[in-house]
Amino acid sequence: MQHNKSQNNIFREEPDAGNYFVAAYPPFSAWTPGDITKLHSTLARPKKTPLGLYIHLPFCPKKCDYCYYLSYIAQSADVVNQYLDSVVTELKLYAALPGIGDRPVNFAYFGGGTPSTLSENQLERLMTGLRSVLPWNNVEEITYECAPRSVRDPFLDALLESGVTRLSMGVQSFDDELLKTNGRVHLSKDVIKAIESIQKAGFHTLNLDLICGLIGETEAKWKESVQRIIELSPESVTIYQMEIPFNTKLYSDLKAETLPCLPVSWEQKRQRLAYAFEKLEKEGYTVVSAYNAVKSPSRHRFRYQDHLWGGDDMLGLGVAAFGYVSGIHSQNEVSLKDYHSAIHSGRIPAKRAMALSLQDQLIREFILQLKTGRVRKAHFEERFNVSLEEVLAEPLSRLVEQGLLLIEPRWIRLTRSGLLGVDRLLPGFYGKTFQSKRYT
């Protein structure tokens, strides 16, 4: 009985609103302009290892009610073209520095916004520009986000021609009423049409996103969406639990009490995620993280995630983009005006940064890798020359006691209950300096 009570204590009093998903450590609120000088210092030191790219394409036909990413609605072709040229120029500015030089690109992720709103000519303009700066000869994976209504055959052909290996499409639900209630611009028929085109085009990996806990979602509607996903049989399925960050329309509506119904509880969302994972596993999928199940872990790995969570370098290109290089987080200017101004003046457009101590690098890698459900002890012994069981003894033992984590000879492993609520557990591993910090 005590075991159940302790588990309940971990997850009790979870707020309806605010950020839940842990994407970075230390928290974003700890990043400051003062550490930008440390970013420049590390970029002045030569380095030859491969690196990844995240390219932010912030243009959308409409902003979804729950979206907290920076985006610009229905911009002209001239605005988009100017932005694409600035992104390429930004990479050139980095490549002129010894810390980047001619390091080869081994993974790239194009996120948004809605990257598939580019025209074929704009896509070619961007890809040709990026490829002219750094070597792309041995890229393991290029992921490109798309939205159902903006998928069209000529654009898919252009993506394949540009080397894209993995498409990720936000479906969120197959219930049209839910889609409209939560501000999505597509309907379920658009999803089916898009998937038919994508599968015909022959991409190596298609990932489909779902969100459990959308406003108005019932258990029956959730189960129907899970069944539809199974029938469509994509190589990869990503499922997020709905969060309501403060900078969203959804939060404004919640605060004004104008939502058609209240959000479902976090406990209900975890139950629905558990149901989806169980159904997918019965169909032969393997759960590889707290959010993702794939048909084949060896063939359909998410290399962007593997590299970033493993501590590898990644440049973030574009307005408000995040990067991580040699133990230093950075975020770019968060307005188009300031971003373009920095680029045109020949300046790396970083707005704030965070230089991590060796201890914080360890914590960052540990909590991100714990999202996969298991952490290999030897990795940290080799990389940091420490024992995780010693440096993280207190939070590890607490989760073991609560039945959420297991310590095995080679692995530290979450139980399924721990995996379903992993983002609630991660702050328990934060260094003392950051335990009281706001996330954003």
- Mind listing the pLDDT tens digit for each residue in 26-58? 999 999 999 999 999 999 999 999 999 999 999
Question: Per-residue pLDDT for 3 more than 70?
Answer: no
pLDDT of residue 395: 97
Same fold flag, 1-20+358-432 and 27-307: no
What confidence score (pLDDT) does residue 5 get? 40
Task: Render pLDDT for 299-326 as a digit per residue (tens, 0 to 9).
Answer: 998 999 999 999 999 999 999 999 999 9
CB atoms within 10 A of CB 48: 9
DSSP string, 216-268: T--HHHHHHHHHHHHHH--SEEEEEE--B-TTSHHHHHHHHT-SSSPPPPHHH
Contacts of residue 198, Cβ cutoff 8 Å, sequence gap at least 6: 151, 156, 167, 169, 206
pTM of the predicted model as reported, rounded to 2 decimal places: 0.94
The pLDDT mean for the chain works out to 94
| C-alpha torsion sign, points 91, 92, 97, 100 | positive
pLDDT digits (tens, 9 = 90+) for 159-179: 999 999 999 999 999 999 999
User: What does the pLDDT read at residue 13?
Assistant: 57
> Would the pLDDT of 15 be above 80?
no
**pLDDT confidence of residue 66:** 86
Over residues 367-404, the pLDDT tens digits come to 999 999 999 999 999 999 999 999 999 999 999 999 99
What would the pLDDT profile of 182-223 be if each residue is shown by its tens digit?
999 999 999 999 999 999 999 999 999 999 999 999 999 999
> In this predicted structure, what is the pLDDT of residue 1?
29
Closest CA to 120 of 76, 166, 156: 156
Domain spanning 1-20+358-432, CATH class: mainly alpha
Per-domain boundaries in the chain = 1-20+358-432, 27-307
Residue 12 predicted with pLDDT over 70 = no
Residue 61 pLDDT class (50, 70, 90 cuts)? confident
Question: Please, where are the H alpha helices in 333-415?
Answer: 336-344, 358-370, 377-384, 388-391, 393-401
| pLDDT at residue 29, as a whole number | 93
Asked whether 288 and 294 are in contact (CB, 8 A), the reply is yes
Three-point CA angle 83, 84, 85, nearest 5°: 90
Spatial CA neighbour of 207 closest among 176, 174, 246, 166 = 166
Superfamily grouping for domain 27-307: tm_1862 like domain (3.80.30.20)
Q: Please check the confidence at residue 327 and state whether its pLDDT lies above 50.
A: yes
pLDDT tens digits along 105-129: 999 999 999 999 999 999 999 999 9
Across 275-296, average pLDDT? 98
pLDDT band at 264 (very low <50, low <70, confident <90, very high): very high
Residue matched to tokens 């607490």: 398
What 8-state DSSP symbol labels residue 399? H
Strands 405-407 and 411-414 come out as antiparallel
Q: Give the angle 4-291-287 at the CA atoms, nearest 5°.
A: 85
Q: Residue 11 has what pLDDT?
A: 66
**49 in helix, strand or coil?**
coil
Residues 6+ apart with CB under 8 A from 10: 402, 404, 421, 424, 425
What's the chain's Rg over C-alpha atoms? Answer: 21
Share of the chain above pLDDT 70, in %: 97
